[in-house]
Chains A and B, each alone.
Chain A
Amino acid sequence: MDALYIHIPFCAQICAYCDFAKEVTKVDKRKTYMQNLFSELKHHTQALTQVRSIFIGGGTPSLLDEADLRGLFKTLESMGLDTVKDITIEANPSDVTKDLAHLLYELGVSRVSLGAQSFNEANLKFLKRTHTPEAIKQAVINLKDAGIENINLDMLFAIPNQTLEDLNRDIDLALKQGVTHISYYSVIVEDNTALSRWLEQGLVAPVSEFLEASMYETVIKRLKDSGFKHYEISNFAKAGFESIHNTMVWESHDYLGVGTGAHSKWRNERFYNVRSIKKYNERIENAHSPIADHYPYEPMRDFLLMGLRLMRGIDMKAFEKRFDVEVFDAFPPLRDCVESGLLKQEDGRLKFTHKGLFLGNEVFMKL
């Protein structure tokens, strides 16, 4: 197992666009969950001896109090995970006080991913985020003061009603914070979210495909111009600061997810845990597996679906070696994608062209 994902499903408030496993809960309920999470972790001690990266995501991991955080890291320590090089934790900017920043540093967190989303107050309110633009700036300062320099900002574009000027202001401010990594996602309307209901009811208008494309173009150009490397469809990093954890997922390494709704890929299997905290607790307390279901692992297709997301693409020789078939023989329609200018071959690698980057699904659909 190369990577470990730990899910913390608690939130102070539900964001308008979020469809991950999460609940607004009371403190005592958190304690129970954390105890069960520790049990699940310990159960996997054997499998995790070679793990290189840990990602603590949510939900809102920064909602955990000091005792819970210490408990979590104590558990990890007790498992003797000596090979770990990188521990990332997600945080809501307004949670990152000086104290929390110092605590995270002390516990050995190497990287913090801030759910900044936007520096526009109205947009943040619209998305039902609880933090202010000011809180993002303060969180970055607090982290740096505490000694954590490796910081990611999670940003959103194509927010309903957002204009290109709004976006440019957001990019200005994101760049100004001096962080090492920026993830810039376009808003995706998921079913069963507040946002999907607002759109259905016609309360808000979606950003047009044309504006969305211009926005994406703007994001790519401006971040590149400011010294960020565009290394995945939605991810940008200063040299050497690419996300170790996510890169392992994109490169089809094994990863284990613990906690509610967490997904895992382990050898030739994919599976995920139950989403409800109540069910999760019951399963663990009764010494049952928290796995909700298994789903198909399609090695070649998954390899390309994930690998092509990286700007450097996939190593065609490595593909052939791994699967004993040439990539174009395995998926003949990929030739059409090269011909129509969505993909290109360069230095033995197959990767998106600039055009293909915008139309990735047209390639993925052929797989």
Chain B
Amino acid sequence: MAKPSIEAVKAHQKTIRNFSIIAHIDHGKSTLADRILEKTKSITTREMKAQLLDSMDLERERGITIKLNAVEIKYTHTNDEIYTLHLIDTPGHVDFAYEVSRSLAACETALLVIDAAQGIEAQTMANVYLALDNDLEIIPVINKIDLPSANVEAVKKDIEDILGIPGEDAILASAKEGKGIDEILDRLVSHAPAPKGEPEAPLQALIFDSLYDPYRGVIPSIRVVEGMIEKGDTIRMMANEKEYTVLEVGVNTPKQQPRDYLGPGDVGYVVASIKSVENVRVGDTITHIENPASAPLPGYRELTPMVFCGLFPTDANRYNDLREALERLKLNDASLKYEPENSQALGFGFRTGFLGMLHMEIVQERLEREFNLELIATAPSVIYSVLMQDGSTKIIDNPSDMPEPQFIEKIEEPFVAATIMCPKEYVGNIMELCQSKRGEFNTMEYIDDNRVQILYDLPLLEIVYDFFDKLKSSSKGYASFDYEFRKRRASNLVKMDILINGEKVDALSVIVHREFAFRRGKAIVDKLKEIIPRHMFEVPVQASINNKIIARSTIKAMRKNVLSKCYGGDISRKKKLLEKQKEGKKRMKNVGNVEVPQEAFLSVLSLDE
């Protein structure tokens, strides 16, 4: 194949526009993406499922984006020139902030979508800052202007006052009704910069996503920043130094379409028989073995899980199925970490690490849905750094592994910087909530006449525990919330054990702040009393710290469970009723001689304190 001329590559480069859409959840990002695809006839309506970019069912159901996708769009401008637009979709949740930042790093431009009725929210701000960090051109789009409650002028003012971007430039759109789409495309051509980069420079291609194909291995999504990449090249991943031979390059339209080469500014994929997703790390740089780049692109970091929980199959015989399912998910999700865990109460399972709560929920749901597994999940935990008396440090992600207190010098827990935005009437409630969650107040400012931004440092433990729900109820759902990891800090933490019928249940151990221990211990044992069915004997449920009982409740013995009715000669009725009772028992775990329902292991998360 003839090498393309440098001139041709450069001419093509001038017609490229790489952009992302950033928005708060529900502000209409996916619908807007769909309209752009429709308008540019990238896909026919018949081909299109609603919100095509969100390819997993789960994403469509939840209306959120988990997995990134990039699409190449051919757009014929009014000046009759054909432009190549790359729409790089981003996940819309704080759990995936790092992936968002890498996707943004692959673009020159961000469409900032703001709901005309909701205005700017905490996540809007977080995304704008990420975009500004990456030096992106920002094109504000006020969406949903068709809503009766739309207040375009107020949102324009917000954009100027809060984000410092000229508000009158904002494009007015209604993705639902297809309004404003032409203007967006036109603005992308006229205002968004074409990518820089030299075709003859050493190759630097940013990996911003990957997908797993059972036949072709892991396929990274890349943005070429410098140089060219084509079939037959030998490439190296700069972070982990793995080397591969390129079998194919191409672009997503959104179907994979092979190309002869990818040059500077191009967004596409690379097939190179890569076996493990471990070797394709988001944020890493691909270069050539010969004439390599002197340095990788900036911004790469390893993804570290923030939240952990134990996952156990309800049916112990399905341990291997669970392992295989996790392996399969991991092919597509490098941030998922797991290792075998053995619980006395729950048997063999996996200690599993996630980027955040949503990530955890999604993985659990996929395991149950796509792999037909019934799981027991333990309450989520964060990572503690434990300084021992002997000067050594232990990293603990499982409360039951916490060393005995006499050996501990101090325990450090992760704190996050939380940004909360809410109407001013809820400030009191929210500050009270943050205080009760051991929050440290940083600042508060009015962002307009009506709304306030509050910054707190909060322990991640409390966020994992029930902060979202409490925030919602204390602001009638009006508060929005965003956070990022800030620091580790020593806290007065203790391990609290739960004993059922005198037996310690490792899977129920939790780490709590000492000040909350009594209250939370009481709440947990009361909750367990509600959840655990009565047995033929009395069952005490106790909370203990350092082997000292601090709270107790008692499940009274069962008094009567006998079918008095004869049902004539109909024995099948009796059997059905007994089967129903038996079925209920099957879904329980035996702790000693006590049958404990699955939901008990998550009960510490839904307490009325």
A interface residue numbers (CB < 8 A to B): 5, 20, 57, 184-186, 188, 209-210, 212-213, 216, 233-234, 246, 249, 255, 257, 262-265, 270, 272, 295, 302, 305-306, 309, 340, 342, 357-362, 364-365
Contact = CB atoms under 8 A, between A and B. Distances in A.
Contacts of B565: 185, 188, 234
Contacts of B255: none
B572 A188 contact: no
B569 A359 contact: no
B575 interface: yes
A47 to B, nearest CB: 15
Interface in B431-482: none
B578 A359 contact: no
Given A359-B536, A364-B578, A365-B581, A262 B563 contact: no
Top-6 shortest CB links A-B? A360-B562, A213-B559, A213-B560, A263-B569, A234-B564, A263-B570
Interface in B561-583: 561-566, 568-572, 574-575, 577-578, 581-582
A114 B100 CA distance: 76
B574 A305 contact: yes
B278 to A, nearest CB: 48
B559 A209 contact: yes
A61 B573 CA distance: 23
A264 B581 contact: no
Contacts of B559: 209-210, 212-213, 358
Contacts of B556: 210
A268 to B, nearest CB: 14
B585 A257 contact: no
Given A249-B569, A305-B571, A306-B571, A365 B562 contact: no
A263 B568 contact: yes
Contact of A188 (B564, B568, B585): B564
A233 B568 contact: no
A270 B568 contact: no
Contacts of A262: 568-569
A246 B572 CA distance: 16
B169 to A, nearest CB: 57
A261 to B, nearest CB: 8
B562 A358 contact: yes
Contacts of A20: 568
A362 B561 contact: yes
A361 B564 contact: no
A270 B560 contact: no
A233 B577 CA distance: 17
A233 B569 contact: no
A324 to B, nearest CB: 22
A267 B570 CA distance: 15
A305 B564 contact: no
Given A209-B558, A361-B561, A365-B585, A340 B569 contact: no
Contacts of A257: 568-569
Contacts of A272: 570, 572
7 contacts: A209-B534, A209-B560, A234-B564, A265-B569, A265-B571, A362-B558, A365-B585
B582 A365 contact: yes
A359 B570 contact: no
Given A213-B560, A262-B568, A359-B560, 12 more contacts: A188-B563, A209-B534, A209-B560, A305-B571, A305-B574, A358-B560, A359-B536, A359-B558, A359-B561, A361-B563, A361-B581, A365-B582
A20 B567 CA distance: 8
Nearest to A295: B572
A186 B585 contact: no
B593 to A, nearest CB: 10
A340 B536 contact: yes
Interface centre among B556, B571, B575 (most CB of A within 10 A): B571
Q: Name the interface size band of chain B.
A: 20 to 34
Given A263-B570, A265-B569, A305-B575, A212 B562 contact: no
B535 to A, nearest CB: 9
A5 B568 contact: yes
A5 B569 contact: yes
A43 to B, nearest CB: 19
Nearest to B559: A213
Interface string B580-599: 01100100000000000000
Contacts of B568: 5, 20, 57, 257, 262-263
Contacts of B577: 361
Interface of B: 534, 536, 556, 558-566, 568-572, 574-575, 577-578, 581-582, 585
A287 B572 CA distance: 27
A233 B561 contact: no
B277 to A, nearest CB: 47
Interface centre among B561, B569, B572, B577 (most CB of A within 10 A): B569
A272 B564 CA distance: 22
Contacts of B578: 361, 364-365
B88 to A, nearest CB: 51
A232 B569 CA distance: 15
A361 B585 CA distance: 13
A335 to B, nearest CB: 15
Given A185-B565, A365-B581, A302 B571 contact: yes
A81 B534 CA distance: 51
A357 B569 contact: no
A235 to B, nearest CB: 8
A340 B578 CA distance: 20
Given A306-B571, A361-B581, A186 B564 contact: yes
B121 to A, nearest CB: 39
Contacts of B572: 263, 270, 272, 295
B568 to A, nearest CB: 6
A306 B574 CA distance: 10
Contacts of A233: 562-564
A186 B570 CA distance: 18
A188 B566 CA distance: 11
A360 B561 contact: yes
A358 B557 CA distance: 12
A212 B534 CA distance: 15
A185 B565 CA distance: 6
B574 A212 contact: no
B581 A359 contact: no
Contact of B562 (A255, A265, A340, A359): A359
A294 to B, nearest CB: 11
Contacts of A213: 559-560
Nearest to B568: A263
Contacts of B558: 209, 359, 362
A31 to B, nearest CB: 24
B52 to A, nearest CB: 43
A278 B172 CA distance: 67
A5 B558 CA distance: 36
A185 B564 contact: yes
Contacts of B570: 263, 272
A340 B557 CA distance: 13
A342 B578 CA distance: 17
Contacts of A302: 571
A213 B564 CA distance: 12
Nearest to A57: B568
A214 to B, nearest CB: 8
Interface centre among A188, A233, A361 (most CB of B within 10 A): A361
Contacts of B582: 365
Contact of B571 (A270, A342, A357, A359): A270
Interface centre among A212, A234, A295, A364 (most CB of B within 10 A): A364
A186 B566 CA distance: 11
A126 to B, nearest CB: 19
A184 B558 CA distance: 21
A102 to B, nearest CB: 28
A249 B569 CA distance: 7
Interface centre among B565, B568, B581, B585 (most CB of A within 10 A): B568
A5 B566 CA distance: 14
B291 to A, nearest CB: 74
A44 to B, nearest CB: 15
